[in-house]
Amino acid sequence: MTEPFEWLLRHPWAHGEAVSSMSQDERDSFEYLWEYTARANQLPPPGDWRIWMMLAGRGFGKTRSGAEWVRMIADSQPVARIALVSSSLAEARAVMVEGESGLLAIYRPDHRPHFEPSLNRLRFQNGAQAQLFSAAEPEGLRGPQHSHAWCDEIGKWPLAHERATRCWDNLLLGLRLGDDPRIAVTTTPRAVPLVRRLVAQSEAGEEVMITRGSTHDNAGRLPERFLQAIASEFGETQLARQEIDGELLEDIEGALWTRTLLEQARERAAYPIAARIVVAVDPPASAGGDECGIIVAGLGPDGIGRVLADCSVSGAAPGEWARKVAEAAREWEADRVVAEANQGGAMVDSVLRAADQALPVKLVHASRGKIARAEPVAALYEAGRVRHVGMFPRLEDQLCGMLVGGTYAGPGRSPDRADALVWALTELMLGKAARPSVTAL
């Protein structure tokens, strides 16, 4: 860093005076001076750490922080060999290298590293190199040696066959170049084994430093529409604490569903067209105060059940929630609407028919409680037979509040969305023989 920049960092109040005294080349470089523009919690922590994990909400500026850390290493160490690891090579390239906050964007155009896509490699002008790796291919990190690594969104790394932890372990075993090997991790907190492992190591004092942060820390640089969108999507849910506040959510002891289980069920790739689609409805017990659970689910030709949409509504009159059901059935081309009829089967049927005479309605009666009905569906998740196509914050909060033994400890008075999901997956996947407590009218 040149002397005017160092002086400016020590005297930020003199910004105008310092800039006016710079050469044109220095002015061109000034907008790329991360040490001046970054917030304190975006900079590497002091101390003799081995792993720095930035655990923060969406839009916090994690990617920029990771890229700037790599730039700092590369610019100061010409012999650096840096691993760039993401959930896939496509994401590593699109986010870590070519993204708006990626490595190519944070350099002046005439100082940028040379990216070789065919080799998944960046070459910096001073000789340092960075290699891209996919966490979906853990064996790719068996053998290569590195001095540093930047791991992005480890909460999204593939969980099947323990790929995430295998990838991490292979990376650690190859981190043996140079005098001070280090790893920077940038991720939204997800309750997956690798994130929990690093948090536990940090709490045990094992050279893991954690920086925490919220989306709101960076609100001044984020579009208002983005802030409105995430507030609308996550609202007051538990997942808002994870996705916005950057908090690692803890599971309730004895829950049928855990956050880890739901993350394992997250669909991250293209999926086949469903052979069957149903809309399941858990009608409100009262005319206008309770929530109406409306869940769309499909069964694929691969035998996997997929939760496609949560169309639930709160405080809606019967005609309103019935229209919402009809709209969901038309939009998703559902072959059946499954509705719980315990709160007056004839009324439920007539309300749905009034919304759309052509609705293929099937009424089901519950002879057991919501939690008892949910247990075989939770077993489907444990067996890896259910996927969530996207995130459903309110539904997932309810699922994580359903406890073995019949207790509900989630938000609201009743898990209406979760109950609708149970009806949908029971209809699609469990069959008559497996659900003796359900009878159709």
Question: 424: domain CATH number?
Answer: 3.30.420.240
Least confident of 77-81, 321-325, 384-388: 321-325
| Residue 209: CATH number of its domain | 3.40.50.300
Same domain, 170 and 263: no
Place of tokens 């969104």: 153
> Does the pLDDT of residue 439 top 50, yes or no?
no
- How high is the pLDDT of residue 160? 82
Mean pLDDT over 233-250 rounds to: 86
DSSP 127-185: S-EEEEEETT-GGGGSS---SEEEEE-GGGS--GGGHHHHHHHHHHHH--SSSS-EEEE
Nearest to 134 by CA among 99, 102, 96, 103: 96
Tell me, yes or no, whether 252 lies in a domain: no
pLDDT of residue 436: 35
pLDDT reading at 13 higher than 80: no
For residues 234 and 41, give the distance between their C-alpha atoms in angstroms, rounded to a whole number. Answer: 24
Q: Are 82 and 147 within one domain?
A: yes
- Does one domain contain both 312 and 401? yes
220 and 265 in a common domain:
no
For residue 249, tell me if it sits in a domain.
no
Residue-number span of the structural domain to which 393 is assigned: 259-440
Q: Are 246 and 188 in contact (CB under 8 A)?
A: yes
Q: Which of these three, 208, 240, 272, is where a domain ends?
A: 240
At 287, the pLDDT band (50, 70, 90 cuts) reads low
Averaged pLDDT, 18-32: 62
Domain annotation covers residue 30: no
Higher pLDDT, 356 or 261: 261
Average pLDDT, rounded, for the chain: 88
Assess whether 194 and 299 both reside in one domain. no
- What are the tens digits of pLDDT across the range 86-97? 999 999 999 999
* pLDDT tier, 440 (very low <50, low <70, confident <90, very high otherwise): very low
Residue 393 in this model has a pLDDT that exceeds 60: yes
- Exposure pattern of 82-99 as b/e (b: 16+ CB <10 Å)? bbbbbbbbebbbebbbeb
The answer to whether 218 and 181 are in contact (CB under 8 A) is no
**Overall average pLDDT of the 108-135 stretch:** 96
Does 147 map to a domain? yes
Question: Exposure string (b/e) for 29-63, b if CB count within 10 Å is 16 or more?
Answer: bbeeebeeeeeebbebeeeebebbbbbbbbbbbbb
Residue 330 forms part of a structural domain: yes
- Please indicate, yes or no, if residue 27 is contained in any of the structural domains: no
Q: How far apart are CA 54 and CA 66, in angstroms?
A: 9
Specify the higher pLDDT residue, 220 or 296: 296
Q: Do the domain assignments include residue 22?
A: no
Task: Name the domain count of the chain.
Answer: 2
Which is more confident, 301 or 250? 301
Q: Are strands 114-116 and 148-152 parallel, antiparallel or unpaired?
A: unpaired
180 in any annotated domain:
yes
